[in-house]
């Protein structure tokens, strides 16, 4: 399989040949930042179009079909529209925190992008506590949501922010325990180490029943963590107009909108990393010919394909199940998912200690 680090190494040598070291590092950081921002925007535009198409399919509608062939340019038209929208100035709000909130939400998702393994050798940073870093920075987003609801000086936004805070803090426990279950199986918190441990067989197959249980709980908790239906109570239109971002307009509203779709990709990407091998191709022990064919598929295509497929499942949740009440939502976490997760973690440890995994 082609390793992208060869390309990045060649670029580093090229820049170093006619630049001082400090300037080479600066240029590389700028290039990486620009690449992440472009990828961030393109993924958001793709997901907006993707969900509209999936939603239309489930509801027997056409979906976007006017702007561009098959409506492919509809997301771009919406992007330009929101860029030129006026940012309305409100009275009696905390202006600093009101302006800061959407940037916190965006920063959380961009930092999470840095440790995702996009392909073999295609990763911004890889260190021995990559999973811990990923879980930590993904928790920053709830601060932006709480600040947005409180600083807007609106009872509907405050209720939405409080709901979101309670929901995200609660379901972070299940996400953390599901991640910890798979980290125990991998024996490392390095993102690259977790992927390389699955080059022979993905964890969803290698880890037996505990891995399947952890995956199901992760997908449920991940859907709740991203405030998507049927866990979209913080944005319940029939009760709270638009929830915590009711008072936002223009580009500031666009930041919240973008972050929701990018968080969908991050949750799906982490699921692909922990359960389906990340960029590792599908290998079946003993099927050397099949494994050789799978190795021809680019590593970045494996990762993106897995993440999009899992995103489809989360979108499927939204357009299939009705919205839960807040008491049922919290009861699902504290009474069912959390105890099952704790038991499943112990079960995974038993599987590891006695060597029952493949």
In a domain, 38, yes or no: no
Instruction: Please indicate, yes or no, if residue 95 is contained in any of the structural domains.
Output: yes
Q: How far apart are the first and last CA of the chain?
A: 24
Domain count, the chain: 1
Task: Report yes or no on 155 lying in a domain.
Answer: yes
The alpha helices in the chain, defined as continuous H runs, are 5-18, 21-58, 74-83, 95-113, 130-138, 141-151, 155-186, 191-196, 203-206, 208-225, 237-240, 250-275, 288-295, 299-318, 326-331, 338-353
Q: Is residue 40 in a domain?
A: no
Average pLDDT over residues 55-81: 89
Radius of gyration of the chain (CA): 21
Predicted confidence band of residue 185 (pLDDT cuts 50, 70, 90): very high
The answer to whether residue 32 sits within a structural domain is: no
Q: What is the pLDDT of residues 310-334, one digit of tens each?
A: 999 999 988 888 888 888 888 999 9
Q: What is the pLDDT of residue 40?
A: 83
In a domain, 189, yes or no: yes
Q: Are 134 and 319 in contact (CB under 8 A)?
A: no
Contacts for 339 with CB less than 8 Å, ≥ 6 apart: none
Q: Does residue 74 sit within a domain? A: no
Residues listed for the chain: 358
Least confident of 42-56, 177-191, 241-255, 271-285: 241-255
pLDDT tens figures, 1-57: 556 667 777 777 888 888 888 888 888 888 888 888 888 888 988 999 999 999 999
Residue 45: inside a domain:
no
User: How wide is the angle at C-alpha 123 spanned by C-alphas 129 and 185, nearest 5°?
Assistant: 40
Q: Which domain holds residue 335?
A: 90-353
| pLDDT (0 to 100) of residue 175 | 93
- What pLDDT, in 10s, does the model give residues 211-266? 999 999 999 999 988 888 788 876 766 666 667 778 888 888 888 888 888 889 99
pLDDT band at 106; cut points 50, 70, 90: confident
pTM of the prediction? 0.90
Q: Give the pLDDT of residue 181.
A: 94
Residue 96 contacts residue 136 (beta carbons within 8 Å): no
């Amino acid at each position: 399989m082609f390793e992208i680090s060869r390309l990045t190494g060649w670029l580093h040598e090229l820049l170093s040949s006619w630049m001082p070291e400090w300037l080479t590092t600066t240029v590389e950081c700028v290039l990486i930042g620009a690449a992440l921002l472009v990828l961030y925007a393109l993924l958001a535009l793709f997901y907006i179009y993707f969900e509209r198409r999936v939603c239309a399919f489930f509801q027997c509608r056409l979906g976007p079909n006017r702007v561009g062939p098959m409506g492919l340019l509809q997301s771009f038209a919406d992007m330009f529209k929101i860029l030129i929208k006026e940012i309305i100035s409100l009275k009696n709000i905390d202006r600093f925190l009101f302006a800061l909130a959407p940037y916190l939400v965006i920063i959380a998702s961009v930092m999470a992008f840095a440790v995702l393994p996009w392909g073999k050798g295609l990763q911004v940073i890889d260190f021995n506590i990559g999973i811990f870093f990923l879980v930590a920075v993904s928790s920053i987003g709830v601060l932006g949501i709480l600040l947005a609801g409180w600083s807007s000086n609106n009872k509907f936004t405050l209720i939405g922010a409080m709901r979101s805070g309670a929901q995200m803090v609660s379901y972070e426990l299940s996400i953390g325990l599901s991640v910890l279950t798979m980290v125990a199986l991998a024996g490392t918190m390095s993102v690259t180490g977790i992927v390389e441990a699955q080059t022979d067989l993905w964890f969803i197959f290698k880890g037996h029943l505990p891995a399947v249980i952890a995956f199901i709980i992760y997908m449920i908790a991940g859907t709740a963590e991203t405030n998507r239906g049927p866990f979209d109570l913080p944005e319940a239109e029939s009760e709270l107009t638009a929830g915590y971002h009711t008072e936002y307009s223009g580009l500031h509203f666009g930041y919240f909108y973008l972050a929701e779709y990018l968080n969908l990709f991050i949750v799906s990407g982490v699921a692909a990393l922990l359960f389906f091998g990340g960029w590792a191709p599908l290998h079946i022990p003993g099927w050397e010919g099949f494994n050789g064919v799978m190795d021809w598929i680019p590593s970045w295509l494996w990762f993106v394909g897995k993440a999009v497929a899992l995103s489809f499942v989360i979108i499927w949740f939204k357009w299939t199940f009705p919205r839960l009440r807040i008491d049922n939502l919290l009861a699902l976490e504290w009474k069912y998912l959390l105890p099952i997760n704790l038991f499943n973690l112990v079960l995974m440890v038993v599987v590891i200690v006695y060597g029952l995994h493949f």
